[in-house]
Amino acid sequence: MPKDTNFYTKLGLSQSASQEEIRRAYRKVLLKVHPDINSKEGATELFLDIQEAYTVLSNPLTKSAYDAKKVAAYEQSPVDIQPLYSCGALRRLEEPQLVYTLIDITTTAEAHIHQKGLPLNLVLILDISNSMKGSRLNTLKAAAMDIVQELDSEDLISIVTFNDRAKVIISSRQHFGNRAIESKIQRLTAKGGTEIYQGLEAGFKEIKQSFGVNTAHHIILITDGHTYDDEEASLELAQKAAKLDISISGFGIGGEWNDKFLDEIAALTGGGSVYIQKPQQIKQFLHQKIRHLTKIYAKNVLLDIKTAPKVTLESAFRLLPEVGLLPDSPPFTLGALRHLRTQRILLEFLVEPIPLKIDEAVLANGEFTFKLGTREHRAPMTLRRSVVPSDTNVEAPPPEILQALSRLTLYRMQEKAQLDIAQGNHKAAAKRMKDLATHLLAKEEFSLGKTAIREASYIEAHHEFSPDGQKKLKYGTRKLLLPSNQQP
């Protein structure tokens, strides 16, 4: 094994450690290796090493110089993977226990990558069915025109519309000027039904026509209605798209669209799904989405997880860059990784009772794969915890995990209430909505809390959710999962 030359790991610290943490870690290590205490062979060298590490890190000036050099030295690995666990160690229990892991994957290499990121090949698929008439279509047109303006000259944009049939109104290969694109958008009118598969298929064909290795591909589907009998075909198409690294995001306007369906498409392809309550918000959400598509560094980010025997992966969530569901089982398609940005995944493992002899348990072996240009990179990781006796005190979990779980609990309460209703148990659903309201108001989420109160009475009266309320709570509680320093 090569000699450990990292000053941080020598002191058992991460690079984000504060001066106070550095000082404390130094003193702790010192107690073990000081020549006055430890007379073992090699202790003096270790002591000198620690001295050197502390001298550099305790001075902010030399520390930042060291950090910069460290980044350069680590250029070989383009990503940094940091797992964070809900517990310091597993306890040797006679019953199953839960462990949560937050995994951050962040790009590290800077020098040889040009900052701008990959150009974008974007397809907007717009619903122009009859229900879009009026302010929905008008604001959508304005938002689409805005996006055209915002894109870079290297980016490609196509626009597909659909009702009962799909039509490519702007193809990226025809190189229209912005004026021509605007007039084409301006002339759209709403009529007919909603057949999402038609739109998706046309958009998929269009994006494939301008397929490039060094381009990021993304489809944004904007709809306000249910599609009928073509969900399965649409999901198959989404799987095909995922294989080609085309991610699909779904924007649902109002209360009448199929949220499970758009969620599933997003989960399969590494895209996102968004609930748009009022048409005026379309622009804001589109801009946000486009921002998430700039400075793309790596494509085809995939996380595969193989759990150890007697460990099951109970659930997986993506928290960054956008909160989203992941499919029921790995591998997880995560879309693109942006320059110097983080993808954060929350995994929940259930561990069966641990036999006496084991002192360390592997939870899972995981591997991120991603593409830089044509090269495929692999970043393996092993998730493991040591095992301590069952009567050991459990320390508090890291605040990031506690916060994420607290918010996840709220999201799941809302999901469970939907399940209650599906099972005909509206009383339980109403009760759960009241509990949810209490927690939301306690967190000063007044608007969402009030929605939950309204839903509780609506459920009591109608034995079902109101369409708007259900979506507002689902996407509202999901949004709370965004780490607090990342919230807009």
| Residues near another protein, by CB under 8 A | 86-87, 91, 93, 95-100, 350, 394, 396-397, 399, 402-403, 405-406, 409-410, 412-413, 416, 432, 434-439, 441-443, 446-447, 449-450, 453, 456-457
Q: What is the DSSP string of 416-444?
A: HHHHHHHTT-HHHHHHHHHHHHHHHHHTT
Task: Please give the Cα distance from 307 to 352 (Å, whole number).
Answer: 12
Decide whether 57 or 404 has the Cβ nearer to another protein: 404
Nearer to another protein, 84 or 93 (CB): 93
Q: Which of 115, 113, 106 is nearest to 79 (CA)?
A: 106
Token code pair at residue 249? 């995001």
CB of 312 to another protein, least distance (A): 12
In this structure, the strands spanning 311-320 and 324-325 are: antiparallel
Residue among 241 and 410 whose Cβ is closer to another protein: 410
Minimum distance between the CB of residue 102 and another protein, rounded to whole angstroms? Answer: 13
Inter-CA distances, 279 with 46, 252, 329, 480, Å: 64, 10, 35, 22
Task: For another protein, give the closer residue by CB, 377 or 454.
Answer: 454
Residue 332 buriedness (CB in 10 A; 0-12 / 13-18 / 19+): buried
Residues facing 383 on adjacent strands = 364
> 3-state secondary structure string, 97-123?
EEEEEEEEEEECCCCCCCCCCCCEEEE
Shortest gap between Cβ of 67 and another protein (angstroms)? 27
The distance of closest approach from Cβ of residue 259 to another protein in the complex, given in angstroms and rounded to an integer, is 22
Helices of type H across 6-119: 7-10, 19-33, 43-57, 60-73
Classify 399 as helix, strand or coil.
Answer: helix
Judged by beta carbon, residue 367 or residue 435, the one nearer another protein is 435
- Least distance in Å: CB of 322 to another protein? 23
All residues at 6 or more sequence positions from 179 whose CB lies less than 8 Å from its CB, including other chains: none
For residues 274 and 249, is the Cβ–Cβ distance under 8 A?
A: yes
Least distance CB 469 / another protein (angstroms): 14
| Cβ proximity to another protein, 60 vs 399, nearer residue | 399
Say if CB 275 and CB 252 are below 8 A apart.
Answer: yes
CA pair distance 361, 98, nearest whole angstrom:
13
The least distance separating another protein from the CB of residue 445, rounded to whole angstroms, comes to 9
Q: Which is nearer to another protein, 151 or 350 (CB)?
A: 350
* CB-nearer residue toward another protein: 235 or 350: 350
Nearer residue to another protein within complex by CB, 103 or 200: 103
Contact 361, 387 (CB under 8 A): yes
CB of 20 to another protein, least distance (A): 16
* Residue 315: C-alpha distances to residues 99, 332, 379 (Å): 11, 12, 22
Containing 203, the helix (H) or strand (E) segment is helix 196-209
CA 123 to chain centre: 21
Q: Which is nearer to another protein, 1 or 442 (CB)?
A: 442
Contact 13, 4 (CB under 8 A): no
User: Could you give the 3-state DSSP secondary structure of residue 312?
Assistant: strand
Contact residues for 219 (Cβ-Cβ < 8 A; gap 6+): 122, 123, 125, 200, 203, 204, 207, 241, 246, 247, 248, 249, 271
Query: Minimum CB separation from another protein for residue 35, in Å?
Result: 39
Least distance to another protein from the beta carbon of 135, Å?
21
Angle at which helix 467-479 crosses helix 259-269, to 10 degrees, equals: 30
Q: For residues 235 and 405, which CB has a smaller minimum distance to another protein in the complex?
A: 405
Smallest distance from another protein to CB 205, Å: 44
Least distance in Å: CB of 376 to another protein?
36
